[in-house]
Structure 1
Amino acid sequence: MPPAVYIIGLAIFAQGTSELMLAGLLPELATDLGVSIPQAGLLISAFAVGMLVGAPVLAVVTLHWPRRNTLLGFLAVFALTHVAGALTPNYEVLLATRVVGAFVYAGFWTVAAVTALALVPAGRRAKAMSVVTGGLTVATIIGLPAGTVIGQHLGWRAAFWAVALMSALAMIGVLRTIPPGTPSPPGTPSPAGERAPRLRTELQVMANARLWLAYATTALVTAAILVVFSYLAPLLTEDTGLPSGAVPGVLALYGVGSLVGITLGGRTADAAPFGTLAIGIAGVVALSTVLALWAAQPVIAISAIFLLGGFGFALNPALNARVFTLAERAPTLATAVNFAAFNVGITVGPWLGGLAIDAGAGYPALGWIAAALGVVALSTVALAVGLRSRPDPVSTWS
């Protein structure tokens, strides 16, 4: 495996840490900026909005850009947004930096996947992608609790400085390991006139209704998980009664559950995608209900959070595999839109949770919202199973 693939995984780790760490820093952010916890939670939604827009836009815009220069540019902007965020005393400015940083992070994901695939032979592409996406899994296990610890002891701004430093280090790695003019992978349109047919094919694939049903499942599942995940820190301290110092440990446990879940889900998703989805979503519904009923019981709450990470991340391979299967002829735009669907859920989840908290429903009510979203997600899976035997209208197009 070329060193460049591991460097890309490191860059995803740095940026993924920023994406996740605010879940453990909401009380500190709210206090320092003089806003409510639900308002601080909108910083998570703002990041998701940036990724939602950035994924499909930059997937097309950067199609023929030099890969190394593009990755360096995205990392530089990402680092600068965190420097600006660490320096500003203004909530609105911080909100804007989260949107901009997430926009280029989405672009980095798109170009990083293309670059990793171009650097390895066909027989090692799956392994290369596992290294790249593994950066986000490691961010869940290490980056999230580490960012929470840094924020609690040195202030949330120190966590932003740490992400900026890691991004700068990743830039050095990209510069030293990724060759200039990295070739495009097979099937990428060339500048010599193939671009229009490729874009037309991409749009034809996007007309598949089953693909949009898969996007709905992705968005609903992600929203169900994020309703609870975004407010874990205040839930654990205010309802479960844990000291703030115990929050990073519980978040790390969530990360361990996520690693176990994505490993098991990766082994079952290809052979039984709908079964993996059904079991995973049912687990999310059940565990969200447990948190709604017994959040005040530390042992039950902590166990449920660990299992929520497992069941939630077990869904990820199946959600992605479903889209790849439906858009096999032209997966670039379809994959970018699925990435955007994840971020629809990341945006909607914290927003719905914030509405419930502002209404005085309390943090355990978040579990009921997550369970309801999960039930709707299960209905989309059932509908997809019913449509599975019908012919794919897109496959008949020339």
Structure 2
Amino acid sequence: MPVFLYVLALAVFAQGTSEFMLSGLVPGIARDLSVSVGAAASLTSAYAIGMIVGAPVMAALSARWPRRRALAGFLAAFVVVHVIGAVTTDFAVLFGTRIVAAIVNAGFLAVAMSVATALVPASQHARATAVLLSGVTLSCVAGVPAGALLGEWSGWRSAFWAVAALCLPALTLVFRQAPADAAGREEVSIRREARVVASRPVQWAMVLAAVVNGATFATFAYLAVIATDITHLPDAAVPALLAAFGVGAFVGVTTAGRRANGGFGRGLLLAVCALPVGWAVLAATSPYAAPLFIVTVLQGGLSFGIGSTLVTRVMRTASQAPSLGGSFATVALNAGAFLGPLVAGLVTETTGDYRGAVWVSAALAATAVGAVAASRAWGARVGVEEAGY
């Protein structure tokens, strides 16, 4: 793999840490800025919405920009808004910085995915995507727990400063190593690419990616409270459980990158079918500590392994839309990350049982199995090549 892919992964690690670290900083932000816990928690939703809206918009705007200018511009803006967030005493300003950070993060990720696949031959697209997304999974393993500990020791503002500082080495290397030209994008037709993205194969791939990611984050958002309220573990065990999930996710993404090509092979089909079973087992065994940790690792690996493969699938089916394909893969993932916890919240509030979040994951994963079956049936009717299989 080209060394520059790992530079991009470093930036994605910093951005992933920023996206997920808020879960451990909410109480401190609420106290410091004199807002409710619910208001502070809304910063997470603001980020998700910014990612969903920002990805296609920023991809379209930057389609004809030189890749170096686009990557450096997005990353520099990400640093600036985190500095503003670290020093502000106004919650409205902080809320605004989260939206802007998400928009530029979405733009960076969309461009980075197109650059990652352009740097390697088609046979290595899945692995290149996995290397890039390993930054996200590593943020779950190390970045999020580290951000929570840093916030506890030095205050939530120190976590924002740390993210800004972490971006600086990547920003320097982007200036030095990123492709300087627009890779032939002078002739980009956003309208033509939009038609490709709107095609049925791409839509199927996006829906499947969104549903699987929704299942993943419906439970991930509630892992901490499940550990303390259902399993009755001490608060100190929560970072270890989140890190266990992240370790599984990292292994899953790495394995998928080496074995998958974005097609619906037997391995992917079996993994998708196993996903709802795993969530159901987690829901049933969550009162017990050992099964909770074991199944959390397994589901982290399975979920992120499938998710990274589905991102490759979106890119593959949208290969004629090199500028917008990556952005809509980002939209699919973040739509799932936003809607999954939202549905889980409605269910847990209704039932009063946090295990309801895991059953939501099982239901969404079962829906993904149905979507695969329907997609394959449609592909068989219209022809393999047209359906993108």
Q: Is the structural similarity TM-score above 0.5?
A: yes
Q: Do the aligned partners of 1:25 and 1:233 also contact (CA within 8 Å) in 2?
A: no
Aligned pair count? 387
Distance 1:218 1:2 in 2: 27
1:302 matched residue in structure 2: 293
Query: What TM-score results when the alignment is normalised by the length of structure 2?
Result: 0.87
2:77 matched residue in structure 1: 77
Query: What TM-score results when the alignment is normalised by the length of structure 1?
Result: 0.85
Q: Do the aligned partners of 1:41 and 1:230 also contact (CA within 8 Å) in 2?
A: no
Gaps of 5+ in 1: none
Greater CA drift, 236-245 or 374-383: 236-245
- Alignment partner of 1:183 is 2:174: no
Q: Do the aligned partners of 1:292 and 1:368 also contact (CA within 8 Å) in 2?
A: yes
Q: Once the 2 structures are TM-superposed, how far is the Cα of residue 246 of structure 1 from its aligned partner?
A: 2.1
1:381 matched residue in structure 2: 372
Distance 1:291 1:150 in 2: 30
Gaps of 5+ in 2: none
Question: Percent of aligned pairs with the same residue?
Answer: 40
Distance 1:252 1:385 in 2: 36
Opposite residue 234 of structure 1, the aligned amino acid is: V
Distance 2:39 2:168 in 1: 30
Q: 1:222 to 1:169 in 2, by over 3 A?
A: same
Distance 1:341 1:57 in 2: 14
Q: Once the 2 structures are TM-superposed, how far is the Cα of residue 383 of structure 1 from its aligned partner?
A: 0.2
Opposite residue 21 of structure 2, the aligned amino acid is: M
Opposite residue 213 of structure 2, the aligned amino acid is: T
1:136 matched residue in structure 2: 136
Q: Do the aligned partners of 2:114 and 2:323 also contact (CA within 8 Å) in 1?
A: no
Distance 1:375 1:124 in 2: 30
Q: Do the aligned partners of 2:262 and 2:316 also contact (CA within 8 Å) in 1?
A: no
Q: Do the aligned partners of 2:197 and 2:321 also contact (CA within 8 Å) in 1?
A: no
Q: What does 1:186-197 correspond to in 2, within 5 Å?
A: 188-190=184-186, 194-195=187-188
Q: Once the 2 structures are TM-superposed, how far is the Cα of residue 38 of structure 1 from its aligned partner?
A: 5.8
Q: What does 1:297-376 correspond to in 2, within 5 Å?
A: 297-359=288-350, 361-376=352-367
Q: Once the 2 structures are TM-superposed, how far is the Cα of residue 205 of structure 1 from its aligned partner?
A: 1.9
**What do the CA deviations read for 1:370-398 (whole angstroms, capped 9, x no partner)?**
111122221111101111223369959xx
Greater CA drift, 265-274 or 321-330: 265-274
Q: 1:133 to 1:85 in 2, by over 3 A?
A: same
2:55 matched residue in structure 1: 55
Q: Do the aligned partners of 1:215 and 1:341 also contact (CA within 8 Å) in 2?
A: yes
2:170 matched residue in structure 1: 170
**What do the CA deviations read for 1:29-70 (whole angstroms, capped 9, x no partner)?**
556566666655443332121111111111111012233232
Q: Once the 2 structures are TM-superposed, how far is the Cα of residue 171 of structure 1 from its aligned partner?
A: 2.0
Greater CA drift, 375-384 or 119-128: 119-128
Q: Once the 2 structures are TM-superposed, how far is the Cα of residue 301 of structure 1 from its aligned partner?
A: 1.5
Distance 1:292 1:273 in 2: 28
Distance 1:211 1:345 in 2: 16
Q: Do the aligned partners of 1:78 and 1:101 also contact (CA within 8 Å) in 2?
A: yes
1:87 matched residue in structure 2: 87
Q: 1:30 to 1:282 in 2, by over 3 A?
A: farther
Q: 1:24 to 1:291 in 2, by over 3 A?
A: farther
Match of 1:363, SS state, is: coil
- Alignment partner of 1:100 is 2:100: yes
Q: Do the aligned partners of 2:81 and 2:101 also contact (CA within 8 Å) in 1?
A: yes
Q: Once the 2 structures are TM-superposed, how far is the Cα of residue 99 of structure 1 from its aligned partner?
A: 1.6
Q: Do the aligned partners of 1:12 and 1:133 also contact (CA within 8 Å) in 2?
A: yes
Q: CA RMSD in A?
A: 3.0
**What do the CA deviations read for 1:49-100 (whole angstroms, capped 9, x no partner)?**
1111111111111012233232222122212222233334555443332221
